[in-house]
Amino acid sequence: MIRHTVTFRLKHPPGSSAERDFLQAACALASLPGVERFECLRQTSSKNNFTFGLSMEFADAAAYAGYCDHPDHTAFVQQRWIPEVADFLELDYEAHHPCQTLTP
């Protein structure tokens, strides 16, 4: 399983129709093949300058690669993400279980 996450800040004013339109377009990515457990998140911490996050899971690396290469995803990145996102941080995780190897 791969969990793909990105936290970001938009160029749009908070609460604007442009902000809502961008987030709705981002949520359409949930319908792409291989995407599981998609979430659009609002940042609540004051520890960073990001405002929103997207999180989704993929069964394996092939499903994630298929998503990354999907024409709808690449179009979203080119047409919406690059022009409208001011800053972001992307993190991708695979399950890691070091605690299972520890014994009390």
Only one residue has tokens 């981002």, namely: 26
Q: What is the pLDDT of residue 95?
A: 79
Helix (H/G/I), strand (E/B), else coil: 15: coil
> Region 85-98: what's the mean pLDDT?
89
> Among 3.30.70.100, 3.30.360.10, 3.10.20.30, 3.40.50.10300, what is the CATH number of 2-97?
3.30.70.100
Q: Find residue 7's DSSP bridge partners.
A: 53, 89
Q: What is the pLDDT of residue 104?
A: 56
Q: Work out the pLDDT band at 96, boundaries 50, 70, 90.
A: confident
Q: What would the pLDDT profile of 3-44 be if each residue is shown by its tens digit? A: 999 999 999 999 999 999 999 999 999 999 999 999 999 999
For the chain, give every domain's residue range: 2-97
Cβ atoms within 10 Å of 101's Cβ, excluding its own:
6
